[in-house]
Amino acid sequence: MLQQYDVASAQKTILKRVPLDDMEVPQSLLDSIRRLFGEALSPAQAVDRILRDVRQRGDAALVDWTVRLDGMAPGHAELGGFRVSSTELQEALDQLPAAQRQALELAAGRIRQFHAAQPVSSWMTNALGGTLGQIVRPVQRVGIYVPSGSAPLPSTVLMSAIPAQVAGVCDIVITAPAQKGSGKIAAVILAAAALIGIREVYAMGGAQAIAALAFGTQAIPAVDKIFGPGNLFVTLAKRQVFGVVGIDGLAGPTETVVIAEAGSNPEWVAADLLAQAEHDVLASAILLTPSAELIGKVQAAVAQQVELRSRAAIITAALANRSGAVLTADLDEAVALANAYAPEHLCLAVREPWRLAEKVHAAGGVFLGEHSFEVLGDYVAGPSHVMPTGGSARFASPLNVLDFVHIVSLVALDESTTRKIAPAAIEIASAEGLDAHANSARVRL
């Protein structure tokens, strides 16, 4: 069930990164697009149709696409059925089981405390003449997309919205797909939003939700930046609206790499791999280890544990598609492979995790030791669980307070400094052939 690879074969298969545009689209998805649109279109072309329609027709298009794609009308009373009322939000929180509420409160407190410690401040200096500096300002209005398919994710509400609150964002909008049949968002997502004081929530999903956030409609004001993971259509929509609004990144299927050794606990390693594999049939759960004996034990533990999991079919598909165990020469080679792969999650299930951590330079999050397992990071550790995927951990960071602010440069030079540096500006402008630029500096001299 958990296939073993040597390094060379793994680099050609499960450790090989495929760009978004080169990913193979299942024929079943292409057939579904043909049925819905009446012609053969690529996913990107289908998304473009939806975006342009919502931009042109607003709420009417939003309702039409929700009915066409989700097979149902929106089920809320406000703003054409999309806006969740404050009453419904509060009722969801009031009806939440006490144990769940306590768990969400614990998570929210830790997430807020972690992000409040992040250094984010304006600064100024007089060392260069006059005053120069940077002013940090929060983004005014953001939209957060919360997946709500087979597994509603209240944790994503907390992990995305709380950093925005810490940053001082004025308006935080949450959108989540409605559940099939009801036209309403899963109650646990609404409860999480109410718990942290989010009051603007819309029951809409897919590319049409991204369009509404980016362009605005008659009833839904546009946002300045869009956050949150989603399916292929959500990801393509975010890419296409970038520039009209900001985006946090392009999220792909979840992925985890576990580096372990002979003395690692095979039951724990197997459990950690399955925890990620149950997200999605495209999820990646990869073990890197120099111990062939450990691979055998983990394979046996995986086979035994899968039978007990409620999402066994998804796990089995994920393990067969993009997962496996790779036998490495040593732990250093395992780290080198991990760095090249740049995983969303990197778990160092070894005796001396800090030694390996010093060599890690490309990962969304590093989990040190067998007691710092990744599931705690998903829910309650503190850092946001929204992390870069698809190899983007080479250059991108986990969601944090800085994602919700922007920097404004401040230039307040005194006259003597202006006279000192203006001649250099004139020279550079003249070299660029921009005479009006040069004159703007020259007239002041």
Mean confidence (pLDDT) of the chain: 94
- 436 and 363 within one domain: no
For residue 150, the model assigns a pLDDT of 67
Helix H or strand E segment including 165: helix 154-167
In this prediction, residue 71 has a pLDDT band, given cuts at 50, 70 and 90, of confident
- 378 and 417 within one domain: no
79 pLDDT above the threshold of 60:
no
For residue 235, the model assigns a pLDDT of 94
178-226 residue pLDDT tens: 988 777 899 999 999 999 999 999 999 999 999 999 999 999 999 999 9
Catalytic residue of the set 200, 261, 344, 374 = 344
CA distances from 85 to 34, 174, 180, 437 (A): 36, 13, 20, 54
227 pLDDT above the threshold of 90:
yes
Intra-chain end-to-end CA distance of the chain, in Å: 77
- 178 and 143 within one domain: yes
72 pLDDT above the threshold of 80:
no
Q: Are strands 200-203 and 225-227 parallel, antiparallel or unpaired?
A: unpaired
Helix H or strand E segment including 36: helix 27-37
CB 211 within 8 A of CB 56: no
Alpha-carbon gap, residue 158 to 230, rounded angstroms: 16
In this prediction, residue 25 has a pLDDT band, given cuts at 50, 70 and 90, of confident
- 345 and 212 within one domain: no
Q: What's the total number of domains in the chain?
A: 3
Q: Which of 207, 230, 247 is the last residue of a domain?
A: 247
- 339 and 437 within one domain: no
In this prediction, residue 69 has a pLDDT band, given cuts at 50, 70 and 90, of confident
Which of 312, 235, 297, 234 is CA-nearest to residue 262?
297
- 258 and 150 within one domain: no
Catalytic residue of the set 345, 370, 374, 385 = 345
Residue 230's CATH number:
3.40.50.1980
**Is 208 inside any structural domain?**
yes
Strand, helix or coil for residue 229: coil
CB 272 within 8 A of CB 374: yes
In this prediction, residue 78 has a pLDDT band, given cuts at 50, 70 and 90, of low
- Across 261-375, the runs of DSSP E, i.e. the strands, are 284-289, 324-327, 345-349, 365-368
Phi-psi region of 15 (alpha: psi -120 to 50; beta: other; left: phi over 0): alpha
345 is catalytic: yes
- State which residues form the domain around 308: 253-394
Please name the amino acid found at residue 2.
L
- 332 and 196 within one domain: no
Cα 143 off chain centre by: 13
- 116 and 211 within one domain: yes
Q: Which of 216, 247, 278 is the last residue of a domain?
A: 247
Alpha-carbon gap, residue 390 to 140, rounded angstroms: 29
342-391 residue pLDDT tens: 999 999 999 999 999 999 999 999 999 999 999 999 999 999 999 999 99
CB 286 within 8 A of CB 253: no
406 is catalytic: no
In this prediction, residue 280 has a pLDDT band, given cuts at 50, 70 and 90, of confident
